[in-house]
Amino acid sequence: MTYTREEPRILAGYKKQLEKAGVTDNVRFLGSVSYDVLPNLYRMARVYVEPGQDRSMSLSVKEAMACGTPAVRGSEGYEEITDGVEGYLVAATDIAGFVDRVVLICTDRDLRNRQSKAAVERVRTQFTWAKVAARIGAAVHDITVINRK
């Protein structure tokens, strides 16, 4: 697990959950890593998990997908993932749902390979500069129109 900010309270919570699940030997906290290392870490992972419920778009999810790693994330990420295609969308409070989807991806090689290819293709086709700029432009236009009323 990597992170960009040192947040002792949050890290302690993660470690407590890992201990409770009996999987502390399977997780390493790497801290902040340089950007040139991230693609290799994403490629080594079988699945990228982001349960947070505070954002609909996540650069790290797209980075993982671009490297061929399926993602399991909060259901707010519908703009990035088609549930069951490039990974899975799960309600942020559904811990069992996250665990089930992660286990499924980790244990079903054919599924993981299909989702890996789909993830790369989705990022390649849907998150080009032109398409992202068009979505931002449309959002700004909509906000401008709403504020004029």
pLDDT digits (tens, 9 = 90+) for 75-123: 887 788 999 999 999 998 888 898 899 999 999 999 999 999 999 999 9
The pLDDT of 58-69, averaged and rounded, is: 93
Same domain, 1 and 73: no
Residues 73 and 140 in one domain: yes
The amino acid at 44: M
DSSP string, 15-40: HHHHHHHT-GGG----BS--TTTHHH
Q: What span, in angstroms and rounded, lies between the C-alpha atoms of 105 and 119?
A: 13
Sheet holding 71-74, edge to edge: 48-50, 71-74, 87-90
pLDDT of the residue at 83: 95
CB 84 within 8 Å of CB 108:
no
Question: 38 in a domain, yes or no?
Answer: no
Q: Is position 81 within any domain?
A: yes
The pTM score is 0.79
At 19-58, the pLDDT tens digits run 888 888 887 778 778 889 999 999 999 999 887 766 677 8
Tokens for 95, please give them: 């811990």
